[in-house]
Every structure is written in C-alpha cells, then in structure tokens.
Amino acid sequence: MESTKLGILIDRVQFPNADAEYTPQQRRSLDVRLKAAEKTSLHGPFKDGEEIAAYLKTLKAQRDAKPKLAVRRT
C-alpha cells in the first residue's frame, strides 16, 4: 500500500478473485449476461453528474408515466 497525492493506492493483486468459484459453463453464462448489460442504457460510465441526473430524470418520467395498479382493500 502506497500513499499518493490523491490518497491511498491499493494493490488489488492480493485480493482473491472468483475465478475458482464458478464452473466454465457458469462463467460463460455470466459473461454473456454482462455483455448484454453493457448494451443497455442502464450501464455507465457516465461522463459527469449532470449526465447521471439527466438519466435519472428520464427514468423517473418513464416510471411516472406507467399506470399504477389499484390496491384492493377488503
């Protein structure tokens, strides 16, 4: 671990990885799902906070536009 002007630098080589926890078939399945997620609008990276705020505003507008289900009370 080294200290820099921006803070602490963490050597991630020492962290364990999950490669041994998945079978090759499970890994392929995860890789396919992650690749598909990268193609959606839900995947970053965003350039700045304004871009994130605009995205969240769009999501809220879409959610608010959906009809709400009535709650039935007995």
pTM equals 0.36
Q: How far is CA 39 from the centre of its chain?
A: 12
Is 1's pLDDT higher than 70?
A: no
The 3 state secondary structure assigned to the chain is: CEEECCEEECCHHHCCCCHHHCCHHHHHHHHHHHHHHHCCCCCCCCCCHHHHHHHHHHHHHHHHHCCCCCCCCC
The pLDDT score that the predictor gives to residue 25 is 92
C-alpha 28/C-alpha 32 separation (Å) is 6
**pLDDT tens per residue, range 47-69:** 888 988 998 898 899 888 887 77
In the chain, the N- to C-terminal Cα span, in Å, equals 61
Whether the per-residue pLDDT at 43 is higher than 80: the answer is no
